[in-house]
Structure 1
Amino acid sequence: MLDIEIEDMRWQELALETLAHEAVSAALAHVQLDLDDCEVVILACDDARIAELNEEFREKAKATNVLSWPSEDLAAETPGADPERPEADFTGEIALGDIAIAYDTCAREAEEAGKSMTDHVRHLVVHGTLHLLGYDHIRDEDATLMETLEVEILGKLGIPNPYEH
């Protein structure tokens, strides 16, 4: 199940529901999970709101493009290894967590990179979903793994490698 909470109406004009569904489904399918078995919540907001969240949860008083709050820590202890697989709760559902995405930062980044907003948003939703699944980019080996997965997933969506300049 994908629950999208839209605080900034510009997201509706971009058809975020469709983009997010494509991106989350593709990311989950890549790790052999089905969106129908999982729960993901997305908050579609603006820079002011995401700056508040970034300050509250990461002690960084600035806007960012996407934030993720995994329901459980699935991260691998060994650098570059796959995270643990999420498990269903007693209801049979896999609660993965929450993602917040900021319109202003996404639009600015897409324009600066010469990318379409829709491709950039799908990339960031894939990125956020991978964080919910325990992937990260703090250690170099983990970053390489996460970026490789992103490129593979985005390729299936017809989106070029976002890391090539």
Structure 2
Amino acid sequence: MKKIFFSKKIEITIRLVDIKEITYLNKKYRRKNIPTNVLSFPSTENINIKHKFYNYIGDIILCPNYINKEALLLKKDRLEHWAHMVIHSTLHLLHYTHNNKKSRNKMQNIEKEIMIKLGFRNPYKYHI
């Protein structure tokens, strides 16, 4: 397996929010007035606190109610789906996208590799 991440340590902020707040954030930052499972906000700044340098890559906002209902609807294991959401959103913080077929395939292949390495199934291969 090829190395996916940087060799340096990174830091992210993860927030859990309700449906109302994720809808508000999605409307404000993506102009979509609907709830969503996760939002990623990449950062270009690094943080230097008490002589320690952190490679801060951004914020992940997760909506537990939405993610849990989505896992149920997709007939996915809840923990497995949560792992996928965190991996997916972290890759967005690392500037991976799925805006076109090539970038989507690249990002999904990395997601599959990480999920399998962690002992989970391919998140894109399931039956409804």
TM-score bracket for this pair, using the shorter chain length: 0.7 to 0.9
Question: Partners of 1:38 and 1:55 in 2: how far apart?
Answer: 28
Q: Shift of the alpha carbon at 1:65?
A: 0.4
- In structure 2, the residue matched to 1:52 is 24
Matches within 5 A, 1:58-137: 58-72=30-44, 92-137=53-98
Question: Partners of 2:42 and 2:74 in 1: how far apart?
Answer: 28
Secondary structure of 2:70's aligned partner: helix
Q: Shift of the alpha carbon at 1:89?
A: 6.1
Of the structure 1 ranges 40-49 and 90-99, higher mean CA displacement relative to structure 2 is found in 90-99
Q: Shift of the alpha carbon at 1:115?
A: 1.1
Relative CO higher for 1 or 2, CA cutoff 8 Å, sep ≥ 6?
A: 1
Q: Is the 8 A contact 2:46 2:53 kept in 1?
A: yes
Question: Partners of 2:46 and 2:81 in 1: how far apart?
Answer: 30
- Give the counterpart letter for 1:111 in structure 2: L
Secondary structure of 1:162's aligned partner: coil
Q: Shift of the alpha carbon at 1:108?
A: 1.1
- Give the counterpart letter for 2:16 in structure 1: A
Aligned length: 121
Q: Is the 8 A contact 2:39 2:61 kept in 1?
A: yes
- Give the counterpart letter for 1:30 in structure 2: I
Question: Partners of 2:39 and 2:60 in 1: how far apart?
Answer: 6
Unaligned runs of 5+ in 1: 1-28, 73-86
Residues 33, 109 of structure 1: alpha-carbon distance in 2 compared, 3 angstrom cutoff: farther
Q: Is the 8 A contact 2:38 2:61 kept in 1?
A: yes
- Give the counterpart letter for 1:108 in structure 2: K
Deviations 1:84-137 (A, max 9, x none): xxx966653211000001111101110011111111011000000000001000
Runs of 4+ residues over 3 Å off in structure 1:
87-91
